[in-house]
Structure 1
């Protein structure tokens, strides 16, 4: 993808992200802006697309003239850098002196390597992969499909049938693992018998993991790995005080598949593959959120879209497992080396290239998109859509309000992509369980968010892969839309929202993590245990600070959008202003770090959070030993199906 050599975009190095004052700031910028250091950070963050220095300068000066951003905390610049906005070039008269000083600052960024041309970025990628001495070995295909389920008998049968019926060209799986956490009875085991029949028809081995099986599995892991029983119990069962334990079921599936490649899908998904609109052939490298969205007014519109957009033929384009296999477990550098052309429009950090230089780099998880229910807790992020998705969102006021409120959408990427962000949606995942992966938080929702942060920040050789296809997501009894107030809501924070803030903050504080994911897990686990062992007031103040920092980052991000999108419609601006106000209100509230999803009074919820985080810290410390024990148990087939 060649462009003129006089057009530049930002590029962050590891030192830019970890150090608060690492980017150069010109003397004249201090004369122009009283907050020159902050202004320089904002200027660099705004240079997201390849443009001339003059164009970058005009956009920034106009944004600054339009309004000031709220305070930004030190650190966490990586998150802000990955989501900084892009919008139209403002057409307005701007002070010539301001433009000159800002352009001088941009030239300083060019000299420091923080702004680079397309050719320079291409050279960085080429240099990264040319030095590799890694054979392009074919990796074994996915063998295991894992499904966590709870009280969804008929839906589970629908799900299993869709995945087992669809493999083509001999690329199906050989083992189906179901973790059944149901507390409702299944008369005469009809549900299990129906799935057993499907497995026999499709020559797939079934492992039905009920509570009694998990109890024996936990005992075996404790014994084989010399792991405290309360740790394995928390990993595989969660906590008796918390009814939602999908993360514990996911951990069970991880450990059962340890040693081979696997997938996990939710029981409310259907294996109806749909290709991304305008799919591109190139492989893409991305350190930024790269999903695009099409919004639907309701389920009927999704069904109609599904009928009209079917895969061509019955080849691998219609095979869920084949799609995951194209990237899962592969070395990212080898994949790039084998491509004729690579798209790097969203490659803005050296972190991904640093990973790709490692001999043992690999794509640890892969994702397809989703068609149907969004599976997302918040809608405010839709205000921040880039390029095509955003322009479609705001082109008409009536459809805009509808799109902000609907839960029905098509989420996709346009390219096969290798990424390095915290994104993780557990709805459908390919997992390279041949290697150590982090655990899910065993209790409460957003357990996949904690997994995504751990993998991104604490596993320096692990990358993520995204495929330009989507599966259906059709959960029961869920409204197809929410009201506008709910759509713009940013809180209250739940247990795992708080834990994500803690994990992000701790990764910022630790600049000396090594290449060993197991040691990194143990280190952060010990830190969380120490945090949780502090007096209640000390613990709560530390957690509150971490949550406030993350909310300030998000508030700053939305305020930047308001400043830069000068020509955006007023109805979008009003909603963005409301989201900024919502973030500020939540950040400044007395109940900021009181988890909304835990039972009891404020004091009881805070005490339970502290106890859960201590258990989670213990889990991280012992998880590598648990993984090794699971691999050994699988090899000697200690447990029978």
Structure 2
């Protein structure tokens, strides 16, 4: 451990001083992630989480450094500081000297060092064969037929053959029968290795698990059982079934309303990127416009999705040897996100982009777009009226994009289930968001990889966004609440073992479920307020930053802002959207409490079920 005695207590709020021009270090830099301890006289002790170095600084210097937590050039950092604090515009040389001092003392992290740390070390790793492509389908036989035909066309084009399993969650017996016919005809007519897994096959696995663990029958039924009379969305039920079916293996999933035809991302680039930036967006006027203005690719989506799934990040970077890892790959990555980024960080999830319907419930996120996407959206009123209600767009990455965390899209997704992936809630929407959160909770050093291409997502009938959503505040939902609890609590879990981390989270959920009515109600409400405050602040920043945007764009942002602001100052009875409007708070809190208990019980037995399925596959 090295302790630095330098005292960077310069007060930048004072008037200008004469300072010799400082040499400006090149490359991308980010201020280190530090633990902060307050000291007398507005001073702070900073302790680097990365190097354990220590330094004492003034509050003013620390406030400046907090603006420099993302990897950017020092010139960009200085420009950001000037923007946030115009009074420092005349003090560039002084700020540069502080930067150089912190670089010397290793409190500024160089992206160049990250490039060196992620170079391939030539480690030998075992890669299991791909189990197959699992298709989630639910009461959409026509769209299922369209998808599996596109599999046959893709195999014919690429000359490769894979195994497909149609996992049927249809509630209608008629649709289940149609799905079986679709699978049988495609298998026969196109020689596709495709199999149907319906309620009967699923029930056999449930029966086997209950026989092995009769004491956990109720939880197993909750996780995996289908109930005809239950009208709740149950996308996670099939998700859990697939994770047990593939225990110890790698697999891909795809939804039935996709088409297996690869198209290159707009502005496609053969470059690597490691960041948390937003997905890129390009709008199209309609489906015909999208198909005409995008480029069909010769990439085999299944092959490329599975090639590096489960590999370490250094091996994956080496695999894309034609694309060199450079400093720019880390632009805008936060310094707090590199603590768990190592050469041996595993790629547990892969994802491609979406052409067509993005699958999101709300349209509010389009008002937070930047760059060319924003320009396209607001270019003229006629186009704006179409685009803001349209669900024809590109959503994804233009580069090979490694992410420390990811929000999953309903597209072709790869899962490395060689080590135990977590279950998700069988009921309610946002099951994919909860799952992604739990993957990171169990495996903090894992990463996801998005490819610079996408598949068509064309639901039938076509959907449109309801503009009335502009008058509704941000909502979290019961599974969003569970995900937020995981995010907030796992910082206090220091275990390395994934099973221990899963147990820690289960106990956290159980502890919250046992809270009294007032405490749990306050927790749900404060979590919702936190989400709404974040949205309100971001929308206000958008209005303040982009004052030159057209009034029709600003008017919609103000509608969202008003809805969010009103929800903050008026006590609402509706805490979660999964219950009928007008339901008493007690009913809503009871639902959350029940979900906390049921999901915690599921997490506790999940390793038993997963290992049993792995050993008996």
Do these two structures clear the TM 0.5 threshold for a shared fold by scoring above it?
Answer: yes
**Which of the pair has more CA radius of gyration?**
2
User: Aligned partners of 1:14 and 1:147: how far apart in 2?
Assistant: 45
Residue 310 (structure 1) aligns with: 296
Residue 327 in structure 1 maps to residue 308 in structure 2: yes
Asked if 2 retains the 8 angstrom alpha-carbon contact of 1:10 and 1:115, the reply is: no
User: Aligned partners of 2:128 and 2:65: how far apart in 1?
Assistant: 48
Residue 86 (structure 1) aligns with: none
Q: CA deviation at 1:147?
A: 1.7
Q: CA deviation at 1:125?
A: 2.6
Residue 127 (structure 1) aligns with: 117
User: Aligned partners of 1:149 and 1:212: how far apart in 2?
Assistant: 15
User: Aligned partners of 2:122 and 2:587: how far apart in 1?
Assistant: 55
Asked if 1 retains the 8 angstrom alpha-carbon contact of 2:102 and 2:108, the reply is: no
| Aligned with 1:60 (options 67, 71, 84) | 84
Asked if 1 retains the 8 angstrom alpha-carbon contact of 2:183 and 2:196, the reply is: no
Residue 218 in structure 1 maps to residue 191 in structure 2: no
Residue 581 in structure 1 maps to residue 562 in structure 2: yes
Asked if 1 retains the 8 angstrom alpha-carbon contact of 2:283 and 2:373, the reply is: no
Residue 495 (structure 1) aligns with: 478
Residue 448 in structure 1 maps to residue 432 in structure 2: yes
| Aligned with 2:496 (options 492, 515, 519) | 515
SS at match of 2:274: strand
| Aligned with 2:281 (options 271, 288, 293) | 293
SS at match of 1:596: coil
Residue 80 (structure 1) aligns with: none
Residue 272 in structure 1 maps to residue 272 in structure 2: no
Residue 379 in structure 1 maps to residue 363 in structure 2: yes
Q: CA deviation at 1:420?
A: 1.2
User: Aligned partners of 2:153 and 2:314: how far apart in 1?
Assistant: 34
| Aligned with 1:525 (options 506, 526, 537) | 506
Q: CA deviation at 1:488?
A: 6.7
Q: CA deviation at 1:124?
A: 2.3
Q: CA deviation at 1:371?
A: 0.8
Residue 473 in structure 1 maps to residue 457 in structure 2: yes
> How many residues align structurally?
572
User: Aligned partners of 1:410 and 1:206: how far apart in 2?
Assistant: 29
SS at match of 1:371: strand
Residue ranges of structure 1 left out of the alignment (5+ in a row): 31-35, 62-93, 635-641
Distance 1:491 1:552, change over 3 A: closer
CA-to-partner distance for each residue in 1:558-584, whole Å, 9 max, x for gaps? 333344445545544444444333333
SS at match of 1:166: helix
Q: CA deviation at 1:526?
A: 1.4
Asked if 1 retains the 8 angstrom alpha-carbon contact of 2:258 and 2:455, the reply is: yes
Q: CA deviation at 1:473?
A: 0.8
Distance 1:374 1:169, change over 3 A: closer
Residue 258 (structure 1) aligns with: 247
CA-to-partner distance for each residue in 1:8-31, whole Å, 9 max, x for gaps? 554563758xxx99699964739x
Asked if 2 retains the 8 angstrom alpha-carbon contact of 1:128 and 1:353, the reply is: no
Distance 1:449 1:218, change over 3 A: same
Q: CA deviation at 1:213?
A: 2.8
Q: How does 1:96-495 map to 2 (within 5 A)?
A: 97-100=87-90, 108=98, 111-112=101-102, 120-129=110-119, 132=121, 134-135=123-124, 137=125, 139-167=127-155, 168-186=157-175, 189-201=177-189, 203-224=191-212, 228-237=216-225, 241-289=230-278, 291-305=279-293, 309-311=295-297, 315=298, 317=299, 319-337=300-318, 338=321, 340-342=324-326, 343-346=328-331, 348-350=333-335, 353-357=338-342, 359=344, 361-483=345-467, 485-487=468-470, 489-495=472-478
Distance 1:604 1:511, change over 3 A: closer
User: Aligned partners of 1:247 and 1:57: how far apart in 2?
Assistant: 45
Residue 597 (structure 1) aligns with: 578
The 10-residue stretch of structure 1 (438-447 or 496-505) with the greater mean CA deviation from structure 2: 496-505
Q: TM-score by structure 1 length? A: 0.79
Residue ranges of structure 2 left out of the alignment (5+ in a row): 1-23, 37-43, 48-54
Residue 542 (structure 2) aligns with: 561
SS at match of 2:80: helix
